[in-house]
Amino acid sequence: AQRVTQPEKLLSVFKGAPVELKCNYSYSGSPELFWYVQYSRQRLQLLLRHISRESIKGFTADLNKGETSFHLKKPFAQEEDSAMYYCALRGGTSYGKLTFGQGTILTVHP
């Protein structure tokens, strides 16, 4: 079975502060991990995936297989980062299925 856990439903920071959204997963094989984001009144969209090792909108995420974590980080939060963030996992045996966490609402205060 595969599972994604985001322990924080809500996270509030001030503009310019560092932010870390936590994600832990459970999967017996080698998963692919992703972060999806949903801004207010917009659709769910892909933010980044662990394989690409890119920085998107200043966000990075490192897959830690030892701790089975894939935390999303940004050194200096901006107000426009306020959104719902979902961590998602794709298992090797399923070509299409994504398993999502419960989501974390990030609010960045001015």
Partner 1 sequence: DTGVSQDPRHKITKRGQNVTFRCDPISEHNRLYWYRQTLGQGPEFLTYFQNEAQLEKSRLLSDRFSAERPKGSFSTLEIQRTEQGDSAMYLCASSWGDRPYEQYFGPGTRLTVT
**DSSP secondary structure code for residue 80 in this structure:** G
Q: Which is nearer to partner 1, 43 or 110 (CB)?
A: 43
Nearer to partner 1, 42 or 55 (CB): 42
Name residues contacting partner 1, limited to 51-80 (CB under 8 A): none
Please check whether residue 85 is in contact with residue 36, taking contact to mean a CB–CB distance below 8 angstroms: yes
Binding mask 11-40 for partner 1 (x = CB under 8 A): ---------------------x-x------
* Tokens found for residue 88: 């998602």
> Which residues touch 42 (CB under 8 Å, ≥6 apart)?
none
